[in-house]
Structure 1
């Protein structure tokens, strides 16, 4: 899969409009100087030879050098990936906790006022454009109320965990708001169907309380569809992180990738594309593994 992604991405990047050589051209350069720069960057070779040369370097752990930062691509990604993983991980945890909690509350109060209110909020959150929601948060919480910082990951001169948390609240909320609503709807529908199963009535007959049945028996079965949705939502989280990082100037791979696209930094674009693809494939693999942890029946079928 990674090989296929690299082949398609490499072709699309090279066939896209623009020439990265023009970033190094000055008015006093002759055509021979321009071609010399092109040759030094390896862009004078046929497309298939450029791909083979890039693939050989990648297999040895060399992702190339950034054309605008003049540093190894791998070093730049290693510096930025903790910020991206932290933002993605926080949004996933927030989405799961709030989505599961609200879904259970909505299911236990089926067709009551709180269920209708939560369902309405879920539909609104699913329909919210991320860019617009980010602008609204910045306007109210940063400009009007001055409660949260609007850009960056740290305040200059401040090195504390609380400062990072304050900077990450709005980006994390924007990245997770849609997933919260999706998880809540799936948890609600799954919980309602599970509460009608025979094993629930048997537990009640043995004297189990409603909360015991819910958290000890029902919740485990309810988590199975959530794992599926979690795997399916990873592409949206990864691509959403790029947009969110650009809006809030979060120093992760997203902002690095956006700058690389505008500058036609081919090695950096390919490096970030491959790293994002690896995270996506690894995340789906992890979701498959979690199936066996949550449902032991899957292990017995192997």
Structure 2
């Protein structure tokens, strides 16, 4: 296991290097000029060039990249052009809100998908399988922002059961208040992943039920429920781990949409605000930080896969 972890960590180094180049190139080719954020109507051309020089934007692109990556490796992602606050501090301030939302959503999706997928696979082509399949197709098809608006309309406007925006009620400091604010964002973000996971678990369950060990368990007198939840589920969890790593990109993208609709104070809403304000250092910092999250999310999935099935370690 130690060799697997070391090998995977070494493989992330060139990947992070290319990600940093992509992040930097994306900002360099983006329309607009960061210097314009500092320009006033009465400013002379010499003053504008002085600002450009102080920001290091008058240097060749490759020098700008190496200066930026040098600062980034030391933990300095620059300063926001809008509020002049350190980019890394803003990201770290928003990280707990995003991590909590993503963790709760993916946990909810997995906890619901395992029994639903097993149930659908064990009752193939029956009414309950068709009902769960219908739910999965709906979950895959519905856009997140539309589902979010629908939930806000019913549960916030019509029924007044849940708050429609933010993470806390002003003046209220309680875990229950945070929980109430997080219910709808968590449901929206988990909904699409739940549908995908159910489909994969159903397919894996159907395949496992044809294996010899299932027939042996039935021959020993095990009930269908015992076979399903004690034996089949162990083998079904392996593709779920793979799916967790593969879905990290969609999870980050979904968090951006969800946080924007619900005004959730996370990294996603910070990124959308930066895009609207053309705050290039914040955009670049969030893009790099999100890429690092994706890479290490896939690394964690690989490690969990090796723990769940020790045979994988010998093959790799």
State the TM-score, normalized to the length of structure 2.
Answer: 0.92
Q: Is the 8 A contact 1:65 1:72 kept in 2?
A: yes
Corresponding position: 1:169 with 2:208: no
Q: Is the 8 A contact 1:20 1:263 kept in 2?
A: no
Q: Which residue does 1:97 correspond to in 2?
A: 111
Structure 1 residues 127-181: Cα deviation after superposition (integer angstroms, max 9, x where no partner):
0011111111111111111111111001111111111111111111111111101
Q: Which residue does 2:77 correspond to in 1?
A: 63
Structure 1 residues 69-111: Cα deviation after superposition (integer angstroms, max 9, x where no partner):
2121111111111111111101110110111121112122222
State the TM-score, normalized to the length of structure 1.
Answer: 0.96
Q: 5+ unaligned residues in a row in structure 1: which ranges?
A: none
Corresponding position: 1:228 with 2:237: no
Q: After the TM superposition, which segments of 4 or more aligned residues of structure 1 sit over 4 Å from their partners? A: none
Q: Which residue does 1:217 correspond to in 2?
A: 231
In the aligned structure 2, how far is the partner of 1:211 from the partner of 1:117?
20
**Distance of aligned partners of 1:300 and 1:46 in 2 relative to their CA distance in 1, 3 Å threshold:** closer
Corresponding position: 1:186 with 2:200: yes
Q: Which residue does 2:261 correspond to in 1?
A: 247
Q: Which residue does 1:141 correspond to in 2?
A: 155
Corresponding position: 1:153 with 2:167: yes
In the aligned structure 2, how far is the partner of 1:66 from the partner of 1:25?
15
| CA displacement at 1:215 relative to structure 2 | 1.8
Q: When the two structures are aligned, how many residues end up with a matched partner?
A: 302
Corresponding position: 1:29 with 2:63: no
| CA displacement at 1:263 relative to structure 2 | 2.1
Q: Which residue does 2:127 correspond to in 1?
A: 113
Q: Which residue does 2:222 correspond to in 1?
A: 208
- Tell me which moved more, 121-130 or 53-62: 53-62
Residue from 118, 125, 133 that aligns with 2:139: 125
Instruction: Give me the CA root mean square deviation.
Output: 1.3
Q: Which residue does 2:271 correspond to in 1?
A: 257
| CA displacement at 1:11 relative to structure 2 | 1.3
Q: Is the 8 A contact 2:37 2:81 kept in 1?
A: no
Corresponding position: 1:40 with 2:31: no
Residue from 17, 24, 27 that aligns with 1:13: 27
| CA displacement at 1:125 relative to structure 2 | 0.9
